[in-house]
């Protein structure tokens, strides 16, 4: 019997190049990333050890590496790249990725959310 867990990385703040407008091309901006992964295991973890489950450190480090030296024009493209990163682990059955640019408007954040699965 397989078991399902949801592994969450919520509110990761990165400073990155994102956007199409001249001011966005000229300077990095704050972006908030949240990821929910539906992870399938053959059985519940038998021991209380990190190597028995998906370690979300790989998602955090992977997102940071994705945005370190690359400028994304679209949040949709960024979300797809993060989803691909997560789905590279065969235990991840489905992933939801949300990005948000909190500083675009003084009264609202703008964002994108996608859901991808196998």
Helix (H, G, I), strand (E, B) or coil at 69: coil
Q: H or E stretch including 59?
A: helix 57-68
Cβ atoms within 10 Å of 16's Cβ, excluding its own: 22
User: How do residues 26-52 score in pLDDT, each as one tens digit?
Assistant: 999 999 999 999 999 999 988 899 888
Per-block average pLDDT, block size 10, for the chain (118 residues)?
94 97 95 98 90 92 96 98 97 98 96 97
């Amino acid at each position: 019997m397989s078991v399902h867990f949801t592994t969450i990385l919520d509110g990761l703040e990165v400073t990155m190049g994102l956007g199409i407008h001249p001011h966005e091309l000229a300077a990095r901006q704050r972006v908030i990333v949240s990821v929910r992964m539906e992870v399938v295991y053959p059985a519940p973890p038998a021991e209380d050890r990190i190597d028995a489950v998906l370690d979300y450190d790989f998602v955090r480090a992977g997102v940071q590496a994705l945005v370190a030296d690359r400028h994304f024009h679209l949040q949709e493209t960024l979300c797809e790249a993060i989803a691909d990163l997560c789905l590279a682990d065969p235990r991840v059955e489905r992933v939801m990725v949300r990005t948000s640019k909190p500083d675009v408007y003084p009264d609202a954040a703008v964002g994108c959310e996608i859901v991808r699965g196998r």
